[in-house]
Structure 1
Amino acid sequence: MDRILTRLAAARREGRPFGITSVCSAHPLVLRAAIRRAVREGGSVLIEATCNQVNHLGGYTGMTPEDFIRFAERIAAEEGLDRARMIFGGDHLGPNPWRKEMPVTALKQAELMVEAYVRAGFGKIHLDASMGCAGEPAALDDRTIAERAARLAEISERTAQAIGAPMPLYILGTEVPVPGGADHVLEELRPTAPEAARATIAIHREIFSRAGLQDAFSRVIAFVVQPGVEFGSENVIGYRPELATELTALLDEEPQFVFEAHSTDYQTREALTRLVQDGFPILKVGPGLTFALREAAYALDMIASEMVPGYGDRPLAATMEAVMSSAPCDWQAHYHGDETALRLQRHYSYSDRIRYYWNRPDAEKAFERLLATLRGKTIPETLLHQFLPQLSPAEAGDPETIVIAAVDRVLADYQSACGTTP
């Protein structure tokens, strides 16, 4: 792990940049696709969990950090990937899940979460204390953010030392808009101003030093900034290298670091390649992977409706609509418009809020029924082409293989952009 992640900055300085894909998903078929690609290509896989998704209280997946690692390790064992080739990261670790609480309560929960992540074996830790809690502004000043990040880093360091684990590598900073994609149509997005990034680095360096955390700061490998890429519910802002020139020039002043790019979902292969070359070698992707999974699942739902008597008329899509409508908490703040617009967004939005529902019992049952219906059946090439024209007949097979192939096509763009790991 150390060699891959700690070589990123040096590789950029030497003019031989490479990147790494950060797979931010807890869906078993997405993880299987990423792990299977690592086995096939002989590389490593970086899998990350977010603070809302996985935490010491369970998160929306119901998994603790230890549960999540065991879950991913089981899939890796089935696919034949050695544990040494797995890197686990914790994303946006901070008070965000408890931001409606008073700061003292939210930060205490954040401390317990960071401890649980490190204790479970997560070695790449993104500390993000940028959000205000109850009674505070929505966005905090840089000094408060850095002080809270240092407080969490101290917990992380102490935990790693206590259990004899390798000392964590850190990511600091956060992007704008908020993690997970914007909740509206975006017209334009400017990269982080270089002076803002410079100030963020400087204040974290100062605060960590004052807290006696110089050694921890020496293991900060990247800062999160906004390179000018984002996706809204219905559109994508593509990377424009010329707008990020001044920002990436800052890395020449700070040779210890690279930048970590969030919300790279739906970028073209060419844009991803330029991001890596320009100093954003850690490419995080999540909704783009589950979007591809949903596309494939819905296509199979239509295929089964066409070719299997008694299966019904798109029962998977109907079940997902019922599940999302009965529990709107994970999409209603993100989608806007009349009922037709809301229905379309629930299923087809780039924000892919449907990903929060795949592990609900009714959704799991409907998905498994779809897979069971098509297992052992040969899908005619012409029918496959009708609903999944992007897949070749060679990628066809059992339904799980088809879904994994759809996800893998996205991962292939990332691997191409990241190049060869030295």
Structure 2
Amino acid sequence: MTRNSPLSEVIAAQKRGESRGIASICSANPWVIEAMLQQARATGEPVLIESTCNQVNQFGGYTGWTPDQFMAYLRDLAPRQEFPFDHIIVGGDHLGPSPWQDEPAAIAMDKAKILIRDCVRAGYTKIHLDASMKCADDDPHRPLDTRISAARAAELAQVAEKAFSEHPPGGAPPYYVIGTEVPLPGGVQEQEEGLSVTSIGDVAGTIESTKEAFFARGLERAWERVIAVVVQPGVEYGDATLFEYDRARAADLARFIEGYDGLIYEAHSTDYQLAEALRQLVEDHFAILKVGPALTFSFREGVFALAAIEEELLAGRQDVEPSRVREVLDKTMLANPIYWQKYYQGDDQAVHLKRKYSFSDRSRYYWPVPEVQFSLSRLIQNLGEQPLPLTLLSQYLPVQYARIRGGEIANVPRAILLDKVRSVLSDYSYACGYLTGPA
């Protein structure tokens, strides 16, 4: 990735006063990635795919993939989607001690350094340095000092620079993103009385303290490749709560970044925002739009809708084994509650509904489990022998029903599921300037 890369072009366009952005697909879900490649082939937009420190790491993460394996998957998938692999920007999100914050800082940081090193060696070229979280031996009674988090971020950047220097000549140096959103990633857990927008003082402090920490380690050239700051523009989601973008509340923050020639904002948790709100975010310099759970949420909606159609079609039949995909998914979540238990509050019925339908979509962690994969494959097989009845599609998947009627997608489960994801991606294509109107 050179200075003529899509990321640098977004920055240049923003500084010219143009409304140009890029969607960051923060997901390792194969259906989501395939849908994004299809979308980019149709719109001509750049592809930025990021894995989080929990999805992909040196221990496999919840996907079971290391950075090398994730890159190998993308390298294999791209040509099958007739998309050039070298047109994909691969990034790492929240790379730092987060997965190991229950351990002392020195140990957590050592593991974070290995993760950063492995990502850069694998070919990741966009690195979000996030050392904002407290580790086990940090003072539990006060927020982590900005200077400490900045020093840790610079320490990680130094590891990334060393890993890149060991690459064969011709490789692209990493771009860096600094800062973090408030609240911490994953969605708010309860209704709030309004969401705070990052203050100008906080973002200025993040930029200046991180710059000082970089320079203290002799990373002046690396600082030139810091392209974005993560801030909270006032968008977030909870289990059933959405905080809509209010550009008036974020106006001062939006203007502030105009004073920095090489920097734009990266907005996390833009999931579920309306297309026009996403467009406004890009216009207001929040030009990198992170999205993840909204994509797997839409995929899950599609799976559940197909499961409802399967139940209708197979009712009373003894010759076909139903997939029971919804039941299998929930049983899998109950058997290993580590990814949702501390996030979903309430009585048994409330938690039961949240496991299935929460906007935070913690079920996304369970799609890679073999039993769930087998059940999903059976669903697709059971419904793939002949076109699905239009009447049932109209009942359970009305948008895809209309697109099938119009000849835009095939009447097969795979095409329907990919289109469910692309219906969300189209809002981002519009917001970033690659479609003339929302889907």
Q: Report TM bin, short chain.
A: over 0.9
State the partner residue of 1:12.
Answer: 14
How many Å apart are 1:185 and its aligned residue? Answer: 2.6
1:300–1:420 Cα change, 3 Å:
closer
Report the number of matched residues: 421
Kindly report which structure 2 residues correspond to 1:63-102, keeping only aligned pairs within 5 A, or say none: 63-102=65-104
1:65-117 CA-partner distances (Å, limit 9, x unpaired): 01001112222121111112111000000001111111111000000000000
1:40–1:62 Cα change, 3 Å:
same
Q: Which residue, 408, 414, 435 being the options, matches 1:400?
A: 414
State the partner residue of 2:208.
Answer: 202
Kindly report which structure 2 residues correspond to 1:278-297, keeping only aligned pairs within 5 A, or say none: 278-297=284-303
Mapped contact 1:305–1:314 kept (Cα < 8 A): no
Mapped contact 1:51–1:94 kept (Cα < 8 A): yes
Mapped contact 1:302–1:314 kept (Cα < 8 A): no
Which letter maps to 2:252?
A: E
Query: Secondary structure at the residue paired with 1:241?
Result: coil
State the partner residue of 2:166.
Answer: 162
State the partner residue of 1:354.
Answer: 363
State the partner residue of 2:38.
Answer: 36
Mapped contact 2:322–2:378 kept (Cα < 8 A): no
Task: State whether structure 2 residue 155 is matched by structure 1 residue 141.
Answer: no
Query: Secondary structure at the residue paired with 1:179?
Result: coil
State the partner residue of 1:252.
Answer: 258
Q: Which residue, 372, 377, 385 being the options, matches 1:376?
A: 385
1:102–1:299 Cα change, 3 Å:
same
Query: Secondary structure at the residue paired with 1:334?
Result: coil
Q: Which residue, 371, 374, 385 being the options, matches 2:394?
A: 385
Mapped contact 2:45–2:429 kept (Cα < 8 A): no
Mapped contact 1:186–1:236 kept (Cα < 8 A): no
Between 390-399 and 363-372, report the one with greater CA deviation.
Answer: 390-399
Q: Name structure 2 gaps, 5 residues minimum.
A: none
* Cα separation, 1, equivalents of 2:166 and 2:333: 43
How many Å apart are 1:396 and its aligned residue? Answer: 4.5
Mapped contact 2:322–2:382 kept (Cα < 8 A): no
Mapped contact 2:322–2:379 kept (Cα < 8 A): no
How many Å apart are 1:378 and its aligned residue? Answer: 1.2
Q: Which residue, 336, 349, 363 being the options, matches 2:345?
A: 336
State the partner residue of 1:130.
Answer: 132
How many Å apart are 1:206 and its aligned residue? Answer: 1.2
How many Å apart are 1:414 and its aligned residue? Answer: 0.3
Mapped contact 1:305–1:312 kept (Cα < 8 A): no
Query: Secondary structure at the residue paired with 1:242?
Result: coil
- After TM superposition, the score normalised by the length of structure 2 is 0.93
How many Å apart are 1:389 and its aligned residue? Answer: 1.5
Query: Secondary structure at the residue paired with 1:163?
Result: coil
Q: Which residue, 197, 210, 219 being the options, matches 1:213?
A: 219
State the partner residue of 1:176.
Answer: 182
Q: Which residue, 112, 119, 122 being the options, matches 1:120?
A: 122
How many Å apart are 1:313 and its aligned residue? Answer: 7.3
Query: Secondary structure at the residue paired with 2:301?
Result: helix
Which letter maps to 1:168?
A: P
* Cα separation, 1, equivalents of 2:420 and 2:434: 23
1:180-238 CA-partner distances (Å, limit 9, x unpaired): 21222334102101111111111111111121101001100000000100000111101
Q: Which residue, 407, 415, 421 being the options, matches 2:429?
A: 415
Task: State whether structure 2 residue 329 is matched by structure 1 residue 327.
Answer: no
* Cα separation, 2, equivalents of 1:144 and 1:197: 15
Mapped contact 1:190–1:228 kept (Cα < 8 A): yes
State the partner residue of 2:228.
Answer: 222
Please report the RMSD computed on the Cα atoms of aligned residues, expressed in angstroms: 1.4
